[in-house]
Amino acid sequence: MVEELKKSSIIKTALVTGAASGLGYELALLLAEDNYKLILVDLDSEGLEVVKTELENKFNVEVLALIKDLSLPNIAQDIMSAVGNVHIDVLINNAGFGLFGTFAETNWERESAMLHLHIMTTTHLTKLVLQGMVERGSGKILNMSSLAAFQPGPLMSIYYASKGYMLSFSEAIANELKGTGVTVTALCPGPTKTAFQDTVTGTVSEGASDNKIKFNMGCAKTVAIYGYEAMLKGKTYAIPGRFNKFLSIIPRFMTRNATAALVRKIQAKNRAD
């Protein structure tokens, strides 16, 4: 019994948002393989329950599933209240969605929800978890940014801007945390084959996406592994794929107007009906 207590005391806890599918699911799998106790958050109750059951049965880990709408104000505090006094050793802020269209015509309620989710909830959750990490002298945070963070994004203006915020925010606090034992990593993938590609245009489907993006489409599992390993190494940011790394530096050699024009052309080609 004493030996069992010793073993249980070293089990670490990870909190993952947007864990019911896509990159969040793949990251939860990696954490389960490493024997983390998991707190999984998503609005998709059915999907989250399936993931919870799978991870518990396959890896014999403890999983707490929280059905929460991360776009609501102050939802981060609600999550931490549900978690209680559990120490969070790893925080993965993965949840997010996109919206296509000109800013003058897109739906404000949807955009407001995106801003709350990508910026307010992610920042607040990081704030609430970070203090305990610093006090204990250890912890890892992985924030989901995007290749979109490196340039303006006409026709997806709010999404691109919010991901730019997440990259800048993550880099800044990563610098502040040097020497504390806590690291922050911003994962910046390019287009990745997940349900996100459907929700950008509002056409959620159960089968294959009819999205027009075919070139340079990343595999969710591969992207998750790359980001997970970067987080474990304490890297400040991670861009999966050589071509994506190349794309991230192109804006340095173009005017901002030219960059915006190029992005708009690509978005119109890939996402317009």
> pLDDT for 132-186, tens place per residue?
999 999 999 999 999 999 999 899 999 999 999 999 999 999 999 999 999 999 9
Q: For residues 112 and 263, which has the higher predicted lDDT (pLDDT)?
A: 112
Q: What pLDDT shows up at residue 11?
A: 85
User: Is the model's pLDDT at 237 over the cut of 50?
Assistant: yes
- Predicted confidence at residue 8, as pLDDT, reads 44
> Distance between CA atoms of 149 and 62, rounded to whole angstroms?
35
User: Which pLDDT score is estimated for 200?
Assistant: 53
pLDDT (mean) for 229-246: 93
| Confidence grade of residue 56 (pLDDT, cut at 50, 70, 90) | very high
pLDDT at position 214 is 52
Mean per-residue pLDDT over the chain, rounded: 88
Distance of CA 190 to the CA centre of its chain: 13
- What lies within 8 Å, CB to CB, of 102 at 6+ separation is 154, 155
pLDDT score of 249: 84
Output the CA torsion sign for 257, 260, 266, 268. Answer: negative
pLDDT band at residue 267, thresholds of 50, 70 and 90?
A: confident
Confidence of residue 205 (pLDDT cuts 50, 70, 90): very low
pLDDT at 203: 39
pLDDT in tens, 74-132: 999 999 999 999 999 999 999 999 999 999 999 999 999 999 999 999 999 999 999 99
Q: What's the CATH number of domain 11-271, 3.40.50.2300, 3.40.50.720, 2.30.110.10, 2.30.29.30?
A: 3.40.50.720
Q: Calculate mean pLDDT across residues 198-206.
A: 44
Question: Which pair of structure tokens corresponds to residue 113?
Answer: 């929800």
SS3 content of the chain, % helix, strand, coil (to 5): 50, 15, 35
Q: What is the dihedral sign for C-alpha 245, 248, 253, 259?
A: positive
Q: What is the pLDDT of residue 189?
A: 94
Phi, psi of 17 (to 5 degrees): -95, 150
Average pLDDT of the residues in 192-197: 64
